[in-house]
Amino acid sequence: MNAHAQPMLSVSGLTKRYGDRLGCHDVSFDLWPGEVICVVGESGSGKSTLLGTLALRLDADDGAIRYRTGDGEPLELRSLDDARKRRLLRTEWGFVEQNPRDGLRMNVSAGGNIGDRLMAVGARHYGDIRATARHWMAQVELDPHRVDDMPSAFSGGMQQRLQIARNLVTAPRLVFMDEPTAGLDVSVQARLLDLLRSLVERLHLSAIIVTHDIGVARLIAHRLIVMQAGRVVESGLTDQVLDDPQHPYTQLLVSSVLPA
């Protein structure tokens, strides 16, 4: 990361409530170009609410989310109109669902799923779209010859790779990921994490990843945000936080997954 660059995303005082229940409260951080941040915490900690609010799927009740586009344009995301939000979500951003079936069109072929996003940004040449789909299947280590197979013909891990290809085909700068390795067996998780690390490095992607798995965070994140009951209780460089956790909740998370 360039120490002299400006943050890609600046979040300050972000708060989301569900009636009397707190989703996330007063969250602030910066995300830099090429950086991966993992948000960790147990179920109900507010990490998924935070992700949904950052990705404009949920409306924040308070705070600011500022994003700098690839052209250097500063945007205050909470004030964007719907058309501009949709454009941002189709081009500069991606969102990888925990369950790939939620992020894929299951009645459309593998190549059609990838091409669908290209067509949303104006691509119309069938041959070019198909060639690009095959290229991105190869990039995520799927057999390009299976371009006409339906998503249901792929395993869960392969479906997740297909969803990642669908997101990356428009060259986003920022990808949000909601528990991308959940539900996969350990060996499939390891291969998917290796792929994600490779893609982040090669494509200079920034990513915000929600996970309950400290092991995932250690392998892929530059920085950690630890959440409990809707609040950030600790944040910092990944190795620093995991090797010397300061907050009792972080200590509990780390001790529950790491050998004594």
Q: Is residue 203 part of a domain?
A: yes
Q: Is residue 76 part of a domain?
A: no
* CATH at 178: 3.40.50.300
Domain span at 87:
1-26+35-69+81-92+172-260
In this structure, are 43 and 142 located in the same domain? no
CB 72 within 8 A of CB 11: no
In this structure, are 64 and 189 located in the same domain? yes
- Could you say which of 121, 136, 171 is where a domain stops? 171
In this structure, are 59 and 110 located in the same domain? no
Q: Is residue 1 part of a domain?
A: yes
In this structure, are 209 and 121 located in the same domain? no
In this structure, are 85 and 200 located in the same domain? yes
Give me the pLDDT at residue 187, please: 83
Residue type, 8: M
Give me the pLDDT at residue 69, please: 93
In this structure, are 163 and 178 located in the same domain? no
What is the spatial distance between Cα 9 and Cα 246, in angstroms, rounded to a whole number?
Answer: 26
Q: Is residue 19 part of a domain?
A: yes
Q: Is residue 141 part of a domain?
A: yes
In this structure, are 202 and 146 located in the same domain? no
- Could you say which of 171, 189, 207 is where a domain stops? 171
Q: What is residue 7's DSSP assignment? A: P
Structural domain count of the chain: 2
Q: Is residue 218 part of a domain?
A: yes
What is the spatial distance between Cα 52 and Cα 33, in angstroms, rounded to a whole number?
Answer: 20
CB 28 within 8 A of CB 215: no
Its pTM stands at 0.92
In this structure, are 87 and 209 located in the same domain? yes
Give me the pLDDT at residue 257, please: 64
Give me the pLDDT at residue 258, please: 47
- Phi, psi dihedral angles at 185 (to 5 degrees): -70, 165
Give me the pLDDT at residue 178, please: 94
Give me the pLDDT at residue 260, please: 35
Does residue 94 sit in helix, strand or coil? strand
In this structure, are 167 and 187 located in the same domain? no
pLDDT, tens digit (0-9, with 9 covering 90-100), for 102-130: 999 999 999 999 998 888 877 778 788 89
- Could you say which of 156, 171, 186 is where a domain stops? 171
**Positions in the chain short of pLDDT 50:** 1-4, 258-260
Give me the pLDDT at residue 212, please: 87
What is the spatial distance between Cα 177 and Cα 164, in angstroms, rounded to a whole number?
Answer: 10
In this structure, are 145 and 234 located in the same domain? no
In this structure, are 130 and 177 located in the same domain? no
Which residue has tokens 């998370």? Answer: 253
In this structure, are 129 and 201 located in the same domain? no
From the list 37, 7, 41, 35, the residue with the least C-alpha distance to 23 is 41
